[in-house]
Amino acid sequence: ATKDEAKKQRYRQKISEYMTRAEDIKKHIEKEKEDGKYHKQIRIEENATGFSYEKLFQEYLTEIVSEVWVEDPYVRHVHQASRYSLYNFLRFCEMLVKGPCKVKTIHLLTSCDEGSGRSQQISGLEEIQQSLKNYGVTLDIAFSCSIHDREIRFNNGWMIKIGRGLDYFKKPQGRFSIGYCDFDLRPCHETTVDVFHTKHTKKM
């Protein structure tokens, strides 16, 4: 009813902003509903490249992620044949520290290395633990003799299962070969990655 054109313009702008926000909220709610039906499977072929941790996980590491669970029986010492398990776990932790999520706690459940590798495994994990503490992140370490499955969970509901766990990268050809530092350029072992949302998983 107002005759003031400036006021009319402000009202139109406000109404437009509210309509846009209402549409954004609607899309967000639809996305939340859709998450419950979500199952994505990625097939990594033998010697494929372009599958760094960032490429696999960043889509699910939203800003609300503050807690991460890693269950992997093979986070062990680097001398393990063709495995760089501790380095791979360290690389995964580096990705979490860089964000955009605000991770405060990482829970690791793994198996014990046997023989002389035990002390090296412990010292390596403790070094990672101390380094994470410098970034305000707590690493909670637990061991299981019976752990077999590999699973990564975020407290925003996303769950990722990788057939080979974090160790799907091949050993680099040399310390100065392409792919040694950049995991997007590192050839992979064949494996399958399954992504679920906990809304769509039924616990027995």
Stated as kind and residue range, the H or E segment containing 71 is strand 67-71
Question: Do residue 105 and residue 74 come from a single domain?
Answer: yes
Question: Do residue 149 and residue 80 come from a single domain?
Answer: yes
- Which pLDDT score is estimated for 27? 72
Q: Is residue 202 situated within a structural domain?
A: no
Residue 179 pLDDT more than 80?
A: yes
Question: Do residue 86 and residue 182 come from a single domain?
Answer: yes
R_g (Cα) of the chain, nearest Å: 22
The C-alpha atoms of residue 107 and residue 90 are separated, in whole angstroms, by: 13
CB 158 within 8 A of CB 60: yes
Question: Do residue 5 and residue 82 come from a single domain?
Answer: no
Question: Do residue 101 and residue 134 come from a single domain?
Answer: yes
More confident residue, 33 or 22: 22
Q: Is residue 44 situated within a structural domain?
A: yes
**Over the stretch 31-57, which tens digit does the pLDDT of each residue have?**
654 555 667 899 999 999 999 999 999
What are the angstrom distances between the C-alpha of 153 and each of 27, 28, 156, 201?
25, 22, 9, 13
- Work out the average pLDDT over 4-22: 83
In the structure, what pLDDT confidence band is assigned to residue 17 with cuts at 50, 70 and 90?
confident
Which domain covers residue 171, as residue numbers?
Answer: 38-197
Please give the model's pTM, rounded to 2 decimal places: 0.77
Lowest mean pLDDT among 24-33, 89-98, 186-195: 24-33
- Which pLDDT score is estimated for 109? 95
